[in-house]
Amino acid sequence: GEEVKRVRDGNDLNAKAKGKTREGAEEQLTSGDLLSNRRMFYLLKSAFPAVQINSEEHVDTADQETVSWNRSIPEDIKQKIQPKEVPAESVTVWIDPLDATQEYTENLRQYVTTMVCVAVNGKPVIGVIHKPFSAYTAWAMVDGGSNIKARSSYNEKTPRIIVSRSHAGEVEQVARQTFGNKTVIIPAGGAGYKVLALLDVAEKNQEEADVYIHVTYIKKWDICAGNAVLRALGGHMTTLSGEEISYTGSDGNEGGLIASINMNHKALIEKLPDLEKTSRK
């Protein structure tokens, strides 16, 4: 997070196109992505050399950085977590060194996060979502504690639905047909930001929503940390057809997603047949 903030504050992004998304939008790559990725990857790799680490950005082996962790856990976290040992080969770590790169280049700082997720046998069990520009960090571990909780009030009849800025129009029509004309559509950047919108985050730059919907293909490093946090708090993140997302194998999730907490998730899925079809296009 410090790398992401330092590059943005210095306006030293060196932004360039790294390719196109399936929808034809240009994907940006900045110095913030690369420097954050280098530090996150090598810290984890040096601490847990036997664990598989999947990252959004390519790791240049000629550009290694020595980043060590003294293995001391802050007392406030140590008091909350319930440690468990699992075989190293069952663990997959997914890191997103800079979520919402497009918004980062536009200086829409509130949407930017860095994320780490630990999956065991494909199930997300630890999620960390950090907001570099406010130094806010949310973390949660399934059956092992958290520093965040769900919001207490939701409205299932007229939910506030948070969606990607690029897909807002696509989702709005179907969502209003499904939930009614009073449904509020909130366009936003970054999967990490959208998950935090479902939770109790005391920040002025964090919008609140009841449901997070994504209707197209999305990479697993974008969603694993949020999925783990929601699971730990009793929430749900599934494909639009209700399937659990496995964090092994390919790095992409084909079936779109819907995320909620303290709501009837199954009932939400049953309301969204048209969106499920949209995600398969």
Residues labelled as active-site residues? 33, 101
Give residue for tokens 């990490």: 192
Please choose, from the candidates 126, 114, 261, the residue with its C-alpha nearest in 3D space to the C-alpha of residue 199.
261
Q: Which amino acid is at 279?
A: S
Q: Is 251 a known ligand-binding residue?
A: no
Is 56 annotated to bind ligand?
yes
Closest CA to 151 of 200, 188, 186: 200
96 is in an annotated binding site: yes
Backbone φ and ψ for 50, nearest 5 degrees, come out as -90, -5
Phi and psi angles of residue 82, each rounded to the nearest 5 degrees, phi first: -115, 95
> Known binder of ligand: residue 200?
no
Cα 193 from chain centroid?
7
The CB density around residue 121, as the number of other CB atoms within 10 Å, is: 14
Enumerate residues 6+ apart whose C-beta is below 8 A from 236. Answer: 230, 259, 260, 261, 265
Q: What distance, in Å, lies between the first and last C-alpha atoms of the chain?
A: 35
Q: If DSSP codes are grouped into helix, strand and coil, which group holds residue 186?
A: strand
To the question of whether residue 12 is assigned a binding role by annotation, the answer is: no
* Binding-site residue set for Mg(2+): 56, 96, 98-99, 222
